[in-house]
Amino acid sequence: MGEFAVELAGVTRRFREGEREHVVLDALDFEVRAGETVALRGRSGSGKSTLLNLIAGIDTPDAGRVIVAGRELTRLSERERTLFRRAHVGFVYQGFNLVPTLSVADNVRLVLELNDVAKAAADARTQELLEAVGLGDRAASYPDVLSGGEQQRVAIARALAHEPAIVLADEPTGNLDDENARRVLGLLERLVRGAGGTMLIATHSASVARYCDRSVELHHGRLGAAAVPDAAP
Amino acid sequence: MLLAIPCADAEPASSPSELARALGAGDDAGFAKALEPREFVFPDDHGPHPEFRNEWWYVTGNLDSENGRRFGYELTIFRVALAPDAPASPSDWRTNMLYFAHFAVTDAAAAEFHAAERYARGAAGLAGAAADPFRVWLYDWRIEALPSGAWRLAANDADVRLEVTLDAMKPPVLNGKAGLSQKSAEPGNASYYYSVTRFDTNGRLALGGDTFTVAGTSWLDREWSTSALAPDQAGWDWFALQLDDGSDLMVYALRRRDGTIDAESAGTFTAADGSATQFARDEIRIDVTDRWTSPRGGTYPAGWRLAVPSLGLALEVEPVVADQELDTLVRYWEGAVDVSGTRGGSPVAGRGYVELTGYAKPRELERP
Amino acid sequence: MIPVRFRASLGYLRRHPWQLALAVIGIAVGVAVIVAVDLANASARKAFLLSMDAVVGKATHQVLGGPEGIPENVYTRLRTEQGMNAIAPVVAGEARIGTRGLTLIGVDLFAERALRDYTGMLADTGGDAEPLFRAFLTEPGAVVLAAPLAASLKLEPGSAFELTVDGTARSGRLVAVLPDEEQRLGGLVVADIATAQEWLGRTGRLSRIDVRIEPDDEGALARLEAALPPGLRVLGAAGRTQATLDMSAGFMTNLSAMSLLALLVGLFLVMNSTSFSVLQRRPLIGTLRALGVTRRELVSLLLAESAVIGLVAAALGIALGVALGERLLDLVARSINDLYFRVTVTSVAVEPASLLKGLVAGVGAALAGAAIPAWEATGYRPRLALARSVLEERARRALPFVTLAGLVIIGAAVVVLVVSGRNLVAGLAAVFMLISGFSLCAPLFVRVASTALAPLARRLGGTVARMAVAGVGASLSRSGIAVVALAIAVSATIGVSVMVGSFRAAVVDWLDQSLQADLYARAKQGRIDEALVAGVASQDGVAAVSTSRRVVLEEADGRTWLVALAMAPGSYAGIELIDAEPAAVWPAWESRDAVVVSEPYAWHRGVAPGDVVRLPTGRGPREFAVLATYRSYDANASSVLVSRRTFDRWFDDDGIDSIGVYVEDDARPEDVAAALRRRDGATLLEVESNAGLRAAGLDVFDRTFVITDVLYWLALGVAFVGVLSAMLALQLERAREIATLRALGMTPAQVGGMLAAQTGLLGLLSGLAALPLGIVMAWVLIVVINRRAFGWRIEMLVDPGILASSVLLAVVAALLAGVYPAWRAGRASPALAMREE
């Protein structure tokens, strides 16, 4: 892995809305170094989710290059991008997005299984992660009996299960109360940052931003100046 | 004296010529024609003459009940051949012969008139005629000879039922030239025509729930032909009068479309002893004294001064009931009449029947 | 101006056009099937009544004799001696012009006026009527036909044509066409009575005398009866028409039941679609509620919307139904012609009542489908309305009660079956109760089955497979209805296939047994008499002959076919006696006034061995002892067998319809057949091998069930649309979940595969759930419905192949229905997962 975990060069993304064309990202350059945790700030509709989708290979830019973990996603096919995402990207959503028909353990295991991890290893890894997020005793439960905070912890376990090159979190505390938000941030701090992982967190919460190595702000499709926090909280 | 195709609803015929057309009068090929006088033999000639296209047995009569109630009746059975030859078939129903009949009763006291018509094929025993013993019938309407030599006549419709015995009081008389009755100038437009002008008549008449024992006199007209009227003839007025001196008078006036009386019109006078005298058009004088308009349309003469000067006859003829129009497929008036006047200067009275064709408004087509 | 809240609601439908379209298609197809069957049935019935009306006319009674008919002089005597006027003679028989089966009716035009009006109609044909009458009366072979019939046969007045009358080729000439706007005469060849007698060889005989007796003419009937010679009977005309119609009632009721089945499946589909569209709008409903729209207003809104959809769909369905009805009518008419009576229907009579039925069914189904979900969805507090798990939980909790209700209904169906005796309609009602009961039990089955399958799936296919299996069980509130609809359709195919299969096997068996002779000869031209039979018997290679004569006995309660048999030694084995020992029956049958009756005859008349039946013979009504019941699946089911000797004692009829030829062991049947065909003489024989007759018999059987086939494929089609709709809706509802899976790295193929597996599983479960219902339905159809409708007893044969193929059918149908939703789901952008609700 090179110096940058994520490298975007001249990335432009436009959406058509009827007759009008709306430029969401405008010749954007952006890098995230390996091991760095970056807060991506901006108002609703400023393009944060679009940026995350481009990095995950879910979306492709109209112009520019997207390089993640040394792979130039913009040169990959849809299928290759999916397989890349499966192996190298972890997702944490504001709405948790657990599979309701799978147990907590199966939600985590699903990702390992997609990556062809052997069953025994997958079981061990799943249990390890659930213990790590403090839900070791809830492996057999179904998402709908968990609280929001618990669900998000499962989502974090799921996002980390396959040891991704980068974790993308989209307002991970947006649906949580302060107490649970703190707890989730604590987990991310410990399990990602503490382990030297790379993470990009889209948020408009200043407290979340403070916790990151640096913040960038999306404004009119461009990255504006952002205050670099002094240190971790 | 009436021709019709019973089923020809579509061809409402009110005049003989229309009827003739309906019958396809032009196509006489294969049928015998009345061209010259023939010898009449009885009872053979009472029977059918199937080689001719048309034939009828025409009985009219005036009757009184025991308590003096006056009635008139008509029973006519017509035969029409649809084709000259009888088709060969194993089926008894196959025939070229068609029969139809009219039955009417006049109730003078109630001024009511009741008429009905029937049709049948001349096959399967449903209708037919035979000479010996004499018999002509259509379903249960019939005229037939009894072993005694007298005839029995029976007909009915709804609540009218007539059953009488006819005893001939005179021998048959031949009308026209020895029975050849010319109807228009063209040769063959003629019929063989005889009458029995007086039958003593006795029997029973049921009418509207009552049954009357009736007695009186009847008249038979027999005619067969293949073609008769010419296109320019509109109809005829026919008189069959029985006078109280025992004599009988028959007159037919063929009317032309221009309103004049055709030269072929003629008559026969039968004396009480049965001797007959034929007379021609120029010996007949007819004046209409009254007119009647049918509720069904058409205006008829309804009273006549009829004179045959050569016989010393001057008679007034009046219908017993005004409306004696038969509302049958082909409409015509056939009714009982009263006669008064003089013969050779002496007063005579009598009764009779008059037939008037070609006056009616054609029937409307009606469908159930 | 549409209120904003309506626009909010309609906007949803606009954005999900396929959901709207499928709801409309579902109702439309259901309605179409109902309307089509109803129209076809009603048209066939109406055509029959109209043609009977044309044939019977104003007659109130009919004078009938034995099978030989009535001596024609009886009619003449009634006319000339009794003076009866409102009577008309009729000579009737079967005729065929080209492939068109028709009734030849020979009439006397002069007698018709009081009863029918062929006379007037003939006069109405325009032009100069007299030549028509002349031709009709005097020309052998002159006929008139209804104008539409003549047109369809490409005949014009004056055309000569060939026809077959009672199997003999004849030459006819069309002298006129009758106007026939009401299509009353479409099945008639009207001829003069002489022509009919000539063609039918019934010289001296009438088929019947039609009589009109005025209702106020008391004593007229008694007078008529007194005037008739012994052996003739007077029957009410309306009763005879009804009795004829009644013969087909079972058949028509069965068809109606099939169409109801299609509606039932359609109803499930509609419920599926409408409840989905309501459930999908829970957020919108929550918002509107929060904004102060009352529950009542919301429910009315949703119901109004459903009513409009129902109305539109019903209109479409009616149009479709009329078109479909035209197709079905052919099939219905063909079956009725094969089985019951001659009916000629050229076009569907669009009955307002049938259309109304379709309309009510369509709108009713849409409202019923929307009512419960609408009430439920509007009852939630907005926050709760978002939680799907709550809904699933409710569905789960309702399960025991739903299942219990199902069991109760099944129990009730059993009770109805037991207590309803011979009532066909009650039997069909029980079938529908069984269906409803089973459908209420199906959700539990699906849940239990999917729970049970989950560990297995996990072992075999891992988490993805597990997810697929679990998805089926977990979304029961959605998939349950689709499963039930599909299960019903599949069970109907099982029920009907097993029934038809069993029936067919029984017919094959019966044909094999009945056709004992090697060859069967009929007269192609001329007639068969004793001398001819003797000639055939003495032919080289012929071991023995049997003969049969089949005549119709007209009775007040319908027709009986009297079959007079002169048996060859080998013939007895061809008649399977159900309830008596052959050795005890046949000697008595040969010598005494005794009969053997067909099973349907025994069933319909309620007679058993030991009883006597009264049959109208040529010498008046006679009693015959019933010796036994024999198995018969003959189309003319109500048959009575009598020995030729007994027949000759009581019937003045020396006709022979067919000769059974038993060939010597060392002779080849083909050679004997060829020799018989070559015989000289006035009578030409048509010789058929027993294999040929067997094939012809099965042909009729198969034709009869074409309509059944068509109907259950339609029901299956409706169910297919249901599964498609359910799958699309599920996919819509799970869009976010699917997007998450895509984001987690599942490829489109994996997601599609998972969904396909889910629909396949749904199909499999439907198929499995359909098995018991299908078998029970087959049993009820065979043992209850067929018996009650036709009197046939059939052994039920369950072909495992039918069961397997039905389950496969369900899986394939579901998979096919899942293809598009799965493809769509795979294509959906994973970006959706990011978007918040």
| Residues of chain A with C-beta less than 8 angstroms from the C-beta of C463 | 102, 106, 109-110, 113
**Is C634 touching B (CB cutoff 8 A)?**
no
The reported pLDDT for the residue numbered A225 is 58
Q: Give percent helix, percent strand, percent coil of chain B, each to the nearest 5.
A: 5, 55, 45
The answer, yes or no, to whether residue A148 has pLDDT greater than 70, is yes
Using the predicted structure, report yes or no on whether residue B18 has a pLDDT greater than 50: no
Q: Burial-class residue B158 by CB neighbours within 10 Å (0-12, 13-18, 19+).
A: exposed
Question: Do chains C and A touch by CB distance (3+ pairs < 8 Å)?
Answer: yes
DSSP per residue, B107-174: ETTTTEEEEEEEEEES-TTSEEEETTTTEEEETTEEEEE-TTS-EEEEEEETTEEEEEEEEESS--EE
Cross-strand pairs, B292? B300
pLDDT tier at C6 (50, 70, 90 boundaries)? low
pLDDT computed for residue B282 by the predictor: 92
C383 Cβ under 8 Å from any chain A Cβ: no
Q: Given CB atoms, is C463 within the 8 Å cutoff of chain A?
A: yes
More confident residue, C302 or B7: C302
- Burial pattern C418-438, b for ≥16 Cβ within 10 A else e, equals eebeeebebbbbbbebbbbbb
Tell me the count of B-C CB pairs closer than 8 A: 111
Interface check C347 vs B, CB under 8 A: no
Q: What is the mean pLDDT of residues A89-109?
A: 85
Q: Are strands C658-663 and C594-598 parallel, antiparallel or unpaired?
A: unpaired
Cβ count within 10 A of residue B258 = 7
Is the CB of B125 inside 8 Å of chain C's CB atoms? yes
Dihedral (CA of C764, C765, C770, C773) sign: positive
Chain A residue nearest residue C390, CA to CA: A144
pLDDT of residue C451: 78
Q: Under an 8 A CB cutoff, do B140 and C81 touch?
A: yes
Instruction: Give the pLDDT band of residue C834 (cuts 50, 70, 90).
Output: low
For the ranges C103-112, C327-336, C518-527, the one whose mean pLDDT is highest? C103-112
Chain A neighbors of C736, CB-CB under 8 A: 95, 97
- Hey, are the CB atoms on A110 and C835 less than 8 Å from each other? no
Residue B225 to residues B38, B78, B160, B182, C834, Cα–Cα distance (Å): 13, 12, 32, 10, 111
**Nearest by CB: B124 against C72, C119, C139:** C72
pLDDT digits (tens, 9 = 90+) for C127-186: 566 778 888 888 899 999 988 889 889 999 889 999 988 778 899 999 988 887 777 787
The most confident of B86-90, B342-346, C824-828, by mean pLDDT = B342-346
pLDDT at C619: 78
Give chain A's contact residues with C (Cβ, < 8 Å). Answer: 49, 52-53, 56, 58-59, 78-79, 82-83, 85-87, 89, 91, 93-95, 97, 99-102, 106, 109-111, 113-115, 144, 158, 170, 174
pLDDT at B203 over 90: yes
Phi first, then psi: give them for residue B216, nearest 5 degrees.
170, -150
Say if residue C498's pLDDT is above 70. Answer: yes
B26–chain C Cβ distance below 8 A for any pair: no
The 10s digit of each residue's pLDDT in C48-100 is 777 777 777 788 888 988 777 899 999 999 999 988 888 999 998 888 888 78
Q: Is the predicted pLDDT of residue C576 greater than 60, yes or no?
A: yes
Interface contact flag, B87 C120, Cβ < 8 Å: no
- Res. A226: pLDDT tops 60: no
Which of these, C468, C282, C302, C362, lies nearest to C30 by C-alpha position?
Answer: C362
pLDDT (tens digit per residue) in A165-222: 899 998 888 888 888 888 888 888 888 888 888 999 998 888 888 888 888 888 878 8
C contact residues 122-161, partner B, Cβ 8 Å cutoff: 122-124, 126, 128-131, 133-134, 137-140
Q: What is the pLDDT of residue C273?
A: 66
> Highest-confidence range of A97-111, B37-51, C258-272, C723-737, by mean pLDDT?
B37-51
Query: How far away is chain B from the Cα of C91, in angstroms, using its nearest Cα?
Result: 11
Contacts of A109 in chain C (CB under 8 A): 463
On whether the CB atoms of residues C467 and C768 are closer than 8 A, the answer is: no
B62 touches chain C (CB under 8 A): no
Encode pLDDT of C423-433 as tens digits: 777 887 888 78
A61-70, A139-148, B37-46, C710-719, range with the lowest pLDDT: C710-719
Tell me which of A176 and A227 has the higher pLDDT: A176
The model's pLDDT over C342-353, given as tens digits with 9 standing for 90+, comes to 666 666 777 788
Q: pLDDT above 90 covers what percent of chain C?
A: 16
Contact flag for B and C (3+ C-beta pairs < 8 Å): yes
User: Chain C, 60-99: which have a CB under 8 Å from a chain B CB?
Assistant: 72-73, 75-76, 79-83, 85
Chain A residues inside the 8 Å CB shell of C743: 56, 58, 85, 91, 97
Helix (H, G, I), strand (E, B) or coil at A172: coil
- Mean pLDDT over C24-45 rounds to 81
Q: What does pLDDT average to over chain B?
A: 89
Closest to C743 (Cβ–Cβ): which among A78, A91, A102?
A91
The H or E element that residue C273 is part of is helix C249-280
Residue C477 confidence (pLDDT): 63
CA A215 to chain C, closest CA, distance in angstroms equals 21
Q: How high is the mean pLDDT of chain A?
A: 85
Of the two residues A211 and B192, the one the predictor is more confident about is: B192
In chain A, % of residues over pLDDT 70: 95
pLDDT in tens, C211-243: 988 888 888 889 999 999 887 888 888 777 777
Chain C hits for A170, Cβ within 8 Å: 834
The enclosing H or E element of C162 equals strand C160-165
CB nearest to C831's CB, from A53, A94, A111? A53
Backbone angles phi, psi at C705, to 5 degrees: -100, 5
When mean pLDDT is compared across A135-149, B116-130, B265-279, the lowest value belongs to A135-149
CB contact under 8 Å between A100 and C831, yes or no, is: no
B-chain CB neighbours of C122 within 8 Å are: 7
Give the pair of three-digit tokens for residue B172: 């048959």
Q: What average pLDDT does this structure show over C418-447?
A: 81
The answer for B 288-317 residues in CB contact with C (under 8 A) is none
Residue B6, pLDDT score: 36
Q: Which chains touch A (3 or more CB pairs under 8 A)?
A: C
* Alpha carbons C191 and A122: distance in angstroms, whole number: 92
In whole angstroms, give the CA distance from residue C639 to residue C601. 6
How many other C-beta atoms are found inside a 10 Å radius of the C-beta of residue C136?
A: 24
What's the pLDDT band for B215 if we cut at 50, 70, 90?
Answer: very high
Nearest CA in chain C to A171: C834
Give the C-alpha distances (Å, rounded to integers) separating A201 from B329, C422, C618: 108, 77, 105
Interface predicted TM-score of the whole assembly (ipTM), two decimals = 0.90
Cβ C198–B94 below 8 Å, yes or no? Answer: yes
Nearest C-alpha of chain B: how many angstroms from C149? 23
Interface present between A and B (3 or more CB pairs within 8 Å):
no
Beta bridge partners of B67: none
Residue predicted with more confidence, A207 or B35? B35
Burial class (CB in 10 A: 0-12, 13-18, 19+), A158: buried
- Cβ contact A82–C742 (<8 Å): yes
* Band (C388; pLDDT cuts 50, 70, 90): low
What is the least distance, in Å, from the CA of C500 to any CA of chain A? 43
Q: Which tokens is B223 given? A: 């005619």
- The residues near A135 (Cβ < 8 Å, ≥ 6 apart) are A104, A150, A153, A154, A157
Pick C463's closest partner by Cβ from A53, A85, A113. A113
DSSP characters over C76-94: HHHHHTS---SEEEEEEEE
Which chain A residues are Cβ-neighbours of C389 within 8 angstroms? 100, 144
Nearest-CA distance from B3 to chain C in Å? 13
Report the percentage of chain A scoring pLDDT > 90.
Answer: 18
Interface test with A, best of C453, C744, C836 (most A CBs within 10 A): C744
Helix (H), strand (E) counts: chain A: 7, 10
Residue C369 has pLDDT above 80, yes or no: no
Q: Which stretch of B12-16, C191-195, C550-554 has the lowest confidence by average pLDDT? A: B12-16
The Cβ-side half-sphere exposure at C515, using a 13 Å CA radius, reads 23
Confidence of residue A233 (pLDDT cuts 50, 70, 90): very low
What does the pLDDT read at residue B3?
Answer: 34
pLDDT 10s digits, C657-682: 889 999 998 989 899 998 888 887 77
- pLDDT > 80? residue B191: yes
- DSSP H/E element including A158: helix A148-160
